[in-house]
Structure 1
């Protein structure tokens, strides 16, 4: 009997060593913290890595993750300032910053954060009207985070942010809001349409006025051009007539000069008399053709002398030729 007991003693010792080994060595994962109690009292906080404990004296009482934790806050019905029921659903993001306070500061810090978030949210929503709750989501989130963070300091928890996932008013309110939105959009559409017609009429009136101005300016310019053209034409006509008179006068002056020169040459006087006699006879011939009545001048006898003088000049010219 004793012999059998001695034989089983190594096995018992080996089992004790294995058990003590498992109890003595603790591996803490990354981003986690373990709270160790020694004989029922807080002893230390184990950081990530390998740690050695005294079996049956030290024990791991709490395990905390140091990662950011999303916590879904159950939806609840809140009453707004204008006595409208509003179902609010949100989510909290928090992180354990002090594992010791998280272990001993509250029996259940997750439940404490959840309840405080709900009560704070009801208080904030109760101070706002329904329309403001949809517009001031950022303000609501900030107020809830500030209230939670202040209270969670003693729990070893840091509240990072709070986000409202959904705001659901009653169906009657939803239908009324939809009708209001539809009416507002129709109002804006009518205003935009009327503004468009107004701008169109203004543009048409401006275009018509501009066309009339352009037309009147064109007519005025045309009248000015026509007047200038008539003026230039009259000036050119007057200049032409003046030039014609000048040329006639120059021709007459040249003819008179030539006649004067011819009178100074030998036989010039007789030639002039001959020319005058020819024109005289020609004029009487035309007068006899145009009228049945012929009025003879008193000195008609001088015609013969003129003719005879002309014949003498012709004969003198013939005799002068070789």
Structure 2
């Protein structure tokens, strides 16, 4: 394997170092072995020259950001060029991956600052979104508690109303039973007279209260 470092400049005028690892071998047939031995005296230098040509002709057409995205295409171009050229000398090119892309230090520092700023902005956005979601959940919980309390209050009032209704029903039922018993024991008395007799103690109580606690006159 041969590692080649190629320094070049991108379309947006950023100097970068491109590292390419070239994996190659001599073909197994006798003609290829003979060609590799006698037609090419320094295959490593020849391969490096072709790699530099491809890198320096393709990368200047690409912006720095796209160099990282298109490194597979760059590697494919290198392999295609080397395969055609070195094949005439009995060599096969197995792989030509771009193993590293290194901008100069100043640009690299600037890129790190940009990435840091992006991460900080994203963190702020995420925190704001979390606060928003938390506020919504708290509002929903408060609404649910209010609804539950309202239902409980309504149920309590309903039960209270039922209790009062049953109490009044019991009073009426007791009064009716008293009237019926009185009429059964005393002949010639109608219901109105019986009710009048039963209400006498209550009227007496009202009179007594009025005497004990007289209403102030203006």
Instruction: Report TM bin, short chain.
Output: 0.7 to 0.9
Higher relative contact order (CA 8 A, sep 6+): 2
1:130 and 1:247, CA in 2 relative to 1: closer, same or farther beyond 3 A? same
Which protein is richer in helix relative to its size? 2
Instruction: Give the aligned partner of residue 85 of structure 1.
Output: 15
What's the TM-score once normalised by structure 2's chain length? 0.75
TM score, norm. by length of structure 1: 0.52
Change (3 A) 1:160 1:246: farther
Alignment of 1:122-133 (within 5 A): 122-133=56-67
Instruction: Indicate conservation of the 8 Å contact 2:6/2:55, yes or no.
Output: no
SS in 1 for 2:88: helix
| Cα gap change, 1:222 to 1:100, in 2 (>3 Å) | same
Give the aligned length: 183
In 1: Cα distance, 2:41 partner to 2:23 partner? 20
Judging changes above 3 Å, is the alpha-carbon distance between structure 1 residues 109 and 229 closer, same or farther for their aligned structure 2 residues?
same
**Residue 173 of structure 1: how far off its partner (Å):** 0.5
Higher Cα Rg, which structure: 1
| 1:106 has 2:40 as partner | yes
2: CA distance between counterparts of 1:223 and 1:136?
74
- The list of structure 1 runs, each at least 4 consecutive aligned residues, that deviate by more than 4 angstroms after superposition, is 250-253
Question: In structure 2, which of residues 89, 95, 100 is the aligned counterpart of residue 155 of structure 1?
Answer: 89
User: How far 1:142 moved relative to its partner?
Assistant: 2.2
> How far apart in 2 are the matches of 1:131 and 1:170?
14
CA distance in 2, matches of 1:92, 1:103: 19
Which runs of 5 or more structure 1 residues have no equivalent in the other structure? 1-69, 254-322
Cα separation, 2, equivalents of 1:143 and 1:101 = 24
RMSD over aligned CA atoms reads: 2.0
Partner of 2:114: 180
* Cα distance, 1:111–1:246 mapped onto 2, change above 3 Å: same
Structure 2, unmatched stretches of 5+, are 188-218
Residues 1:205 and 2:139 are matched in the alignment: yes
Alpha-carbon deviation of 1:80?
0.6
Q: Which has the higher strand share?
A: 1
CA 110–224 in structure 1, closer or farther in 2 if over 3 Å, else same: same
Deviation at 1:202, TM superposition (A): 1.4
Distance 1:251 1:166, change over 3 A: same
In the alignment, what sits opposite 1:20? none
Does structure 1 residue 94 correspond to structure 2 residue 24? yes
Q: Are the equivalent residues in 1 in contact too, given 2:16–2:101 (CA < 8 A)?
A: yes
